[in-house]
A and B are shown apart, each in its own frame.
Chain A
Amino acid sequence: MKQNKRKQRRVIPGFGLSLGVTITILSLIVIIPLCSLVIFTAQLSPAEFLKTVTSARVLASYKVSFTTALTASLINAVMGLIIAWVLVRYDFPGKRIMDGMIEIPFALPTAVAGISLTHMTVDSGWVGQLFGRFGIEIAYTRIGITVALVFIGIPFVVRSVQPVLEKVDPQYEEAASMLGAEKSYTFFRVILPEILPSLIAGFTMAFARCLGEYGSVVFIAGNMPFETEITPLLIMSQLQEYDYASATSIALVMLAAAFLILFVNAVLQSRSSKIVSGIE
Chain B
Amino acid sequence: MKIAVTLRLTPDLTEELELTEDGRDIDREWIGLVLNEFDDQALEQAVLLKEAAGAEVTALAIDGEGVERLLRTALARGADAVRRIPADDAPSSARALTPLYAAAVREIGADLVLAGVLATDDLHGELAPFLAAELGWRQASAVSDVRIEDGDVVVRQEYSGGRAAQLALTLPAVVGLQTASQPPRYVAGSKLRDLLKVEVPEMAVDAAPAATGIEPATLALPDRGAGAEMIEGSADQIAERLHAILVERDMA
Q: Do A and B come from one complex?
A: no
Binding site for A on B (CB under 8 A): none
Q: Which residues of A contact B (CB under 8 A)?
A: none
